[in-house]
Structure 1
Amino acid sequence: MEAWIRLSIFVAVLALMLVWEAKRPKRSGRVNRWHRWRSHLGLIVTSSVLMRLVVPLGLTGIALWASEHDWGAFNQFELPLWLAVMVSMIALDLVLYWQHRLFHRVPWLWRLHRVHHADPDFDVTTGVRFHPIEMILSLAIKAATILILGVPATAVLIFEIILNACSLFNHGNVQLPTKLEAGVRKVLITQELHRIHHSSVKRETNSNYGFSVVWWDWLFGSYTDQSRAGSDNVDIGLREFREEQRNTPFWTLLLLPFKDK
């Protein structure tokens, strides 16, 4: 049931973003979008299948198991459910912020994560362009956090839905109205902010790590307000993989972490 709820909301948000992009695109693409989309969706399907094989119960199943066996900090106390859910979601988001920074700083992790950043374009499907090994490692990190804290299953389900929706939203090839964007970016990572994170300029790539809220970047000094090139001229992607990514075939993306660049 949990998987179907997540899938339904994922498909709905993806469809809404695709319609928005079709009607009001922010930028013109460099690469044939059908080639990119086919490969990107191939990655997320592959990752989803592998993660189900690795953890058949899923993250909510792990949370239910932890609750039944009194694993984790929150299961040692009689906390109100609303408080445990709220603290759990904040903790999970903070863990993913630092996970993201780690994948940028540790060379062998960056080899995996650069599959995401090597995309020469930036649209909603970039939000699912992650190497399956990175997805499995992220699954393991979230599972460990759930077990250590005793995160309630309700919090896991809500967090995963929000995480997926935010990833699709902030990778969209769209632009919020200027005044609205100025307000939204005080809370959430907007497309304008996340586009900076996909800049080919290393200093900009190593900023704006948040997946949902912008506060972690403020707190830990990784916030970049504007791209040096300006909003309309951000050079998206990794320069060292520019040519290889012209057609972005699925097998090229799977092998990208093992290329010596």
Structure 2
Amino acid sequence: MDFLVSLFDRETGIGGPLFYGAILVVVLWEAARPRRAPVSSTTTRWINNIALAGFDFLLSRWTIGFVILQAAVVAARDGWGLLNLVELPWWFALGIGFLWADLVSYAIHRLYHSNAVLWRIHRVHHSDPDIDFTTSHRHHPFEMLVTIPLTALAVIAMGTPPLALLMWWAVTGLTSVVQHGNVGLSGRLDHVVRQFIITPAMHLVHHSSHQPETDSNYGQLFPWWDRALGTYCHAPEGGYEAMTLGLNEFRAPRDQLFDRLMVQPFVTGQVHDSGGKTSQQSPSSTTP
């Protein structure tokens, strides 16, 4: 067990190499076969998205990893949570914990879209007018104020094994970069893969500027929660080639600058025409 813990640790095991390896592969993939032509300055996006991601990494290294993992350690030590109330084979508890981590991520993601205040924070991620590997970690730091306590409580309630969290973080660190990449699988391969794991095409729908599509495909790793809970969208209404990404409220070039991304939760965006399409007001786009 100690070997597995060290194996999946991002600092000492394969978590880090998987993550950075995924970035390298996706960057090369995007360069060789990009799925979509950019509609905004790639240089501006990369500089500001990476700056925001770097700021988040500095904070998350001492918050998400420590607080949530510590919650799992304390739950295991003190016998808290459902999985610690019954005798289960370690591998079975590990599998349940892994699935639970993914379901909790789905639920929190859906909450960000259904609550007007939380949407203001989360829309920083969705206001990217293009999507590529830098979008995967384009999140406002305030998201951690919500994600950390909710995830920690869910981890304690289930008694999620610490190893399950380390494994889930290692795997989703890789898949998140791929899912946000400006890449695509062949139609037939995508159809097969998305039965088990969320594909780039499936997640691309989630970044559509069309609100019913934005409010779909919330899953982080597995597509089963979306399918079971009625939030699955197979493809954009007008097809992938015609779809518009981002949010129409934040289409000015200056909206992609680091300082504007940081204050975006506190401002009301100016709606811009996007090919005759205006963003619809909804629970995920209503100003509180």
The bucket for the TM-score relative to the shorter chain is: over 0.9
Q: Is the 8 A contact 2:67 2:148 kept in 1?
A: no
Residue type of the partner of 2:268? D
Structure 1 position 260 matched with structure 2 position 268: yes
- The secondary structure found in structure 2 opposite 1:161 is helix
The AA in structure 2 aligned to 1:206 is D
The match for 1:224 is 233
Amino acid at match of 1:241: F
Distance between the aligned counterparts of 2:127 and 2:43, measured in 1? 17
Note if 1:115 corresponds to 2:124: yes
Q: CA 1:67–1:161 in structure 2 vs 1: closer, same or farther (change >3 Å)?
A: same
User: What 5-or-longer segments of structure 1 have no aligned partner?
Assistant: none
Which one of 3, 21, 32 corresponds to residue 10 of structure 2? 3
1:181 to 187, 190, 195: 190
Equivalent in the alignment of 2:143: 134
State the partner residue of 1:102.
111
SS state of the match for residue 148, structure 2?
Answer: helix
Give the secondary-structure state (helix, strand or coil) at the position aligned to 1:231: coil
TM-score by length of 1: 0.93
Tell me the C-alpha RMSD between the 2 structures.
Answer: 1.8
Partner of 1:167: 176
Shift of 1:56: 7.1
2:247 aligns with: 238
Does the 8 A contact of 2:254 with 2:260 survive in 1? no
In structure 1, C-alpha distance between the alignment counterparts of 2:221 and 2:60, rounded to whole Å:
22
Secondary structure of the corresponding residue to residue 265 of structure 2: helix
Deviations 1:33-88 (A, max 9, x none): 22212222222222222234446735333322321222222122221111111111
Contact kept? 1:52, 1:58, Cα under 8 Å: no
Distance (whole Å) between structure 2 residues aligned to residue 186 and residue 246 of structure 1: 39
Deviates most, 76-85 or 47-56: 47-56
Query: Structure 2 matches for 1:1-80, cutoff 5 A?
Result: 2-4=9-11, 5=13, 6-54=15-63, 57-80=66-89
Against the structure 1 CA distance between its residues 56 and 173, is the aligned structure 2 distance closer, same or farther, given a 3 Å change threshold? closer
Residues in 1 aligned to 2:149 and 2:51: alpha-carbon distance in whole angstroms: 21
2:133 and 2:231 map into 1 onto residues whose CA distance is 23
Shift of 1:200: 0.7
Offset of 1:12 from its aligned partner? 1.1
Structure 1 distance, partners of 2:47, 2:67, is 26
2: CA distance between counterparts of 1:65 and 1:182?
Answer: 41
Counterparts in 2 of 1:75-86, with a 5 A limit?
75-86=84-95
Structure richer in helix, relative to its length: 1
C-alpha distance in 1 between matches for 2:185 and 2:164: 29
**Kept after mapping to 1: 8 A contact 2:10/2:170:** no
Letter in structure 2 aligned against 1:3? R
Q: Which amino acid aligns with 1:148?
A: A
User: Any idea what SS the aligned residue of 1:203 has?
Assistant: helix
Structure 1 residues 177 and 30: CA distance shift in structure 2, 3 A: same
Kindly indicate whether the alpha-carbon contact (under 8 Å) linking 1:31 and 1:246 is maintained by their aligned counterparts in 2: no
Count of residue pairs brought into register by the alignment: 260
Mapped partners of 1:76, 1:249: distance in 2: 49
From 158, 165, 169, give the equivalent of 2:167: 158
CA distance in 2, matches of 1:92, 1:29: 34
> Residue 210 of structure 2: which of 201, 204, 222 is its match?
201
Rounded Cα–Cα distance in structure 2 between residues aligned with 1:116 and 1:196: 14
| Cα pair distance change 1:257/1:167, threshold 3 Å | same
